[in-house]
Amino acid sequence: MSDFPVPETRVLAVASHVVYGYVGNTMATFVMQSLGCEVAALNTVQFSNHLGYGQAKGTRATSQEITDLYQGLKDSYLDDFQMMLSGYLPGAASVEAVGAIARDLKYKATMKPGSFFWVLDPVMGDNGKLYVAEDVVPAYKDLVRDADLILPNQFEAETLSGVKIVDMDTLKQAITMLHEQYRIPHIMITSIAFPTPGATPSLSVVGSTFTSDAKPRIFGIKIPAIDCFFSGTGDMFAALMVARFREAVTSAPGLMETAAWVSDDSVQSIELPLAKATEKVLASMHEVLSNTKIKRDEELEKYNKQVGGRDALSDEKKLRLVKSKAAEVRLVRNLGALKHPNVKFRAETV
């Protein structure tokens, strides 16, 4: 019964649902539950599968439906959330609807600093390309001012800050800008890749918790890249972060009762609860994804043998679908890696 890193934590999770596989709430719900959180999953879409397959069937909730579901919770006194995690939203109106929900929860918590914490994943695009409508960008820019922790990838950090990230200096500029301009207490950029010719491919995540005068305290963690594209890893990161950040904050005396869980100015970057949490998050992720890669390769080998007689390449579409399926994150059978991460990658000062 006490095998959980966090005290009972009620989380409102607003993101997409897929029937098959693990992205959005389908990923985040199990991850947070496995770490002992009570998760209220408000699904913004229901699709048969994630869009990496290139095709899917399903429906999107309207912003009114999102608002109504939250109203339903309020009507029955079911809105006593301590944390909120918001992910993919199907359009600017939904972004605004979710902003209204978060602000309502934040407002209720005004008299009790630290009693509500909002983790916002500003899902807009990746690798230099937007995959949401243009009007979603200003909607998010309006939203992030109220978030406690945002989890942009490199492209999203660039989009929000207006700073093109090409090296360490511009990375620092972007984070400084986000802290100062939007007053976001905590920032995690979930994937930074600078091209280094000849080096072993690696990914970095870079985070910061601002000081009392909104200056950054930046740390980074380098992890070996796994040579495969997985969907839902951003959602896994966010969900693990919800539980692990709360765990780290719980163990810092008085911090849970501090507004936005911002550590005292005396705390150095690599000692931040955000840094400690990120170490555990990345340890779990690396183990789960390494195990997934092994299973994926086995599955593809099996498929290749099976179609060996025929020309496998003749059915390119099927091959793409089979590859997408094989790369679905192996989540439920990796419970141990979620619960008991073996920390190997440590935060370093940037």
| Subset of residues 62 to 121 that bind its own copies, contact rule: CB under 8 A | 65, 68-73, 75-78
**Position 17: which residue type?**
H
Q: What angle do CA 220, 179, 283 make, to 5 degrees?
A: 25
CA atoms in the 13 A half-sphere facing the CB of 269: 18
51 binds its own copies (CB under 8 A): no
What's the length of the chain?
350
Compare residues 17 and 246 and give the one whose CB is closer to its own copies: 17
DSSP 62: P
314 binds its own copies (CB under 8 A): no
- Contact region for its own copies (CB under 8 A) — 16-24, 93-101, 197-205, 233-241? 16-24
- Contact region for its own copies (CB under 8 A) — 23-31, 204-212, 218-226, 246-254? 23-31
4 binds its own copies (CB under 8 A): yes
Compare residues 5 and 125 and give the one whose CB is closer to its own copies: 5
Residue from 5, 23, 27, 53 in contact with its own copies (CB under 8 A): 53
In the chain, alpha helices (H): 24-34, 63-75, 92-108, 136-143, 154-161, 168-182, 233-250, 273-306, 316-326, 335-339
Residue 240: strand, helix, or coil = helix
**225 within 8 A of 205, measured Cβ to Cβ:** no
Compare residues 68 and 265 and give the one whose CB is closer to its own copies: 68
332 binds its own copies (CB under 8 A): yes
The number of residues that bind its own copies (CB under 8 A) is 54
46 CB neighbour count, 10 Å cutoff: 16
Contact positions vs its own copies (CB under 8 A): 1, 3-4, 8, 12, 17, 19-21, 26, 29-30, 33-34, 36-43, 46-49, 53, 55-59, 61, 65, 68-73, 75-78, 318, 321-322, 324-325, 332-336
